[in-house]
Structure 1
Amino acid sequence: MAARTAPFSRFEFMIAWRYLRARRAEGGVSTMTWISLIGIALGVAALIATLAVRAGFRDEFVSTIVGSNPQITVYSAPTEVVEGSGVYSRLIRDFEARTERIKKIPGVVSAAPAIRGQAMVSFGDRSNVADVYGLALSDLKNIPNIAHSDEAQGNIDDLGQGIALGVGMARDLGVTVGDTVKLISPSGAKTPFGTSPRVNAYKVVYIFSAGRYDIDQTRLYMPFKEAQSYFNREGGADEIDVDVADPDNVADWEPAISDASGKGTLIWTWKDASGSFLRALTIEDNVMFVILAILVLIASMNITSGLIMLVKNKGRDIGILRTMGLSQGSIMRVFFLCGAFTGVIGTVAGLALGVLFALNIDSIMGFVNWINGGPAWDPSIRGIYQLPAKLQPWDVLKAVGLALSLSFVVTIFPARRAARMDPVEALRYE
């Protein structure tokens, strides 16, 4: 009767390791082992690299949104300017009182009245359409990506003497700090003969990069009071821009802000504006994970092929080991360890490759750009200027856990086949 041994004893590891180091005459087994190992390593590396790039893209996308735009925007419902006139306006007349009430809400970092409008910017024979934001200088300094831009030119403190432009717009117009541009609005001065376009000249005192292509191409800031005058908003504000302590849970502040703003308040958050895109990213992340998981599964299936060949080649050894007293459980564990070794080594190699890829994404993209003969990453399509990567522990654990789980599961069938082999049949023709 076969003697019972402790599971995964030292001799079981020793036998399994010797079987993995196949002799030259058994090159087929060795080749299958290498194919399995390389396949798992590449699958795990691709999974980790993809998850890191997706996480980095999402993080960069969100940070440029909340770092350049208000997280919560408070509007006013249309109200009749004069009772019975039939003329309605969304202008917030009591913006100062509303702003002060909102600032007192716990968790509100900042609240600022703003003017919003569109105008055409002209310099020489070039022109562009701008989204104009009227903000006080102290409020503009609270926008991180604008006030602390890495590619800033000029001095933001000079906003009272001119305007601020996005770097993309400045490049298209060919302007630099100190140049004077014309701002043209169709809704200008009201005269007995109708509304005439308003054309004002402003000095460019600050050029910024918000980290987003669309913002840099269209955004223009001017002083709040100047914007009130330019867009005929005297005595009012178009909106109140609010930032909170936790942008991810921005909905938690909506009830309090609505109460503080009073009746007729409309609230629009950054998630309302970009929520559909973020949901699309989540769906794409899940689909990519499933696709790459299938690739890892295919690579893991090579372990099964290699182990079946190994069991067939080691039939004589299995018969001898069984007659020496090894139990079916011991035989099963020996061949399970053969497959597990391949899975573990491949997973570790893939982990190292994936982490190296994520940490050196800038160098890799530089090489790709060199091969491509130009930028392979188009910010006008993707919104941000570079392909980022962000390693997250949970993503790495998911990739490693998936690879190890699949590697262990696929070894069970050939290991059980080896354990059930009849030693008499195995040694009959030896």
Structure 2
Amino acid sequence: MASPAPFSRYEFMIAWRYLRARRAEGGVSVMTWISLIGITLGVMALIATLAVRAGFRAEFVDTILGANAHSTVYYSPTSIYNDLTEETYVTPGRIEDYDGLAAKIAALPGVTRATPVVRGQVMASQNDANNVAEVYGLTLDALKAIPRIADPETGMGNIDDFDKGIAIGSGLARELGVGVGDRVRLISPDGAQTAVGTTPRVESYDVTYVFTAGRYDIDRTRIYMPMPEAQSYFNREGVADEIEVFVEDPEKVDDFTMPLIQTAGERAQVWTWRDASGSFLKALDVEDDVMFIILSILVLIASMNITSGLIMLVKNKGRDIGILRTMGLTEGAVLRVFFLCGAFTGVIGTIAGVVLGVIFALNVDHIMSFVNWFSGGGAWDPSVRGIYELPAKLRGADIAKAVALSLALSFIVTIFPARRAARMNPVEALRYE
């Protein structure tokens, strides 16, 4: 007569019966319940943490790419030696034929657009409120092509009126106490050249558009000004400071560095969004790995409780093991029965953890609102975090990693007590019964 196949139906039936037995009958111990709850909470925390970390990184990168150039081309300063005065003068790098250079760069494969920009720093003031701001001078079409800036759902005012004034960030508008239609005074230390030197330039502009890019630092410090006005204001007549470049795949922006330098000339320098934020993104990646390891240890500790629960179950079921062995069950069958007891705990805890983790990730906004209310506000400080809210992004790969880790640990720690039950001598088990 052929022996039953491994993991037959009766093995599942016996294992499930042992798990459902009452404590008085030698069934599931308190340790098993502790391990079940621990695995559930560990998997939930792992999935929720991975979802929040993925959402934070995705939102952070999206705010970078949605309000900034993927790559920037500029010229390095040049040094000029004056034989008469025997002094060396450093002249800043300026792009004279900026429209022609922008057209050449835009023609490169993979480049979607190239925009000449004039940049400068000013002091923005209104009544008694003052704040440092960075001015970007560009055309209306270039402004409307920036996704996070030209978003009609977050912007206030008519962006088509940009040529009649300036566009400012919502954070800067809030600090200055201005809105659409108000006037803002801009003060630049590099103003008009006079016989006695350089005098500060002071001009007032109408606020025609208020944008919200989603980044605290951008909304609090950025101003957009029409290109001709910016050239006049910063003494850049006929020149631009840099060319902002946008590509089809921002993740591969480093592949465009050499083509951009070859197109712009030997004095050209390239600064990508990865150069500006690469160290922060690498820190996020390291933190993700560390958090995964720490939470994996928590899942391991919870899984270790399965071992304690199974050892107690094997001790309580010694008589049953002896009877099953005398009825013809092999060591392998007994091993599989108690392996399934521990595996059921791991599987049930993992499923419950996945469900709770997904629910947490999908409702993280409501949870953070409650935490913020309970703590009296300030639970999420955008001036520190950079973005305005805590996002979450569920990824199938993260859920799969959490499930695989939990099941693997649960199955591994189950093997030792299951082997102990399989090697139990039926004679010794029944001797005192």
Which residue matches 2:325? 322
Alpha-carbon distance in structure 1 between the residues aligned to 2:167 and 2:255: 33
- 2-side partners of 1:183 and 1:242: how far apart? 27
- Contact kept in structure 2, 1:3 and 1:327, CA below 8 Å: no
User: Does residue 17 in structure 1 map to residue 20 in structure 2?
Assistant: no
> In the alignment, is residue 225 of structure 1 matched against residue 224 of structure 2?
no
Residues 117 and 243, structure 2, Cα contact 8 Å, conserved in 1: yes
| 1:361 equivalent in structure 2 | 364
Task: Determine if contact 1:45/1:350 at 8 Å carries over to the other structure.
Answer: yes
Instruction: Give per-residue Cα distances to partners, 1:166-222, cap 9 Å, x unaligned.
Output: 000000000010011111101000011100010011000000100000001000000
Which residues of structure 2 form unaligned runs of 5+?
A: none
Q: 2:139 maps to what in 1? A: 136
Bigger mean CA offset, 75-84 vs 131-140: 75-84
Q: 1:6-405 counterparts in 2 under 5 A?
A: 6-26=5-25, 29-80=28-79, 86-148=89-151, 150-405=153-408
Aligned length in residues: 429
The letter of the residue matching 1:243 is F
Partner AA of 2:316 in structure 1: N
CA distance in 1, matches of 2:335, 2:232: 84
1-structure distance, mates of 2:16, 2:306 = 15
Deviation of residue 79 (structure 1)? 2.7
Q: SS state of the match for residue 411, structure 1?
A: helix
Q: Counterpart amino acid of 2:387?
A: I
Following superposition, the deviation at residue 26 of structure 1 comes to 4.5
Task: Name the CA shift for 1:87/1:287 in 2 (closer, same or farther; >3 Å).
Answer: closer
Q: Aligned AA for 1:310?
A: L
Contact kept? 2:19, 2:27, Cα under 8 Å = no
Q: Find the aligned partners of 2:92 and 2:362 in 1 and give their Cα distance.
A: 53
- TM-score after normalising by structure 2: 0.97
Corresponding residue SS for 1:122: strand
Displacement of 1:338 after TM fit?
A: 0.2
5+ residue gaps, structure 1: none
Identity across matched positions, percent: 67
Is 1:149–1:210's contact at 8 Å kept on the other side of the alignment?
no
- Determine the C-alpha separation between the residues in 2 that align with 1:313 and 1:381: 56
2-side partners of 1:21 and 1:227: how far apart?
A: 77
The residue type equivalent to 2:145 in the other structure is N
Distance 1:263 1:32, change over 3 A: same
Please tell me whether the aligned partners of residues 74 and 93 of structure 2 are also in contact (alpha carbons under 8 angstroms).
yes
Q: Deviations over 1:105-131 (max 9, x none)?
A: 111111000011000111111111101
C-alpha offsets along residues 315-369 of structure 1, whole Å, 9 cap, x if unaligned? 1110111111000000000000000000000000000000000001111111111
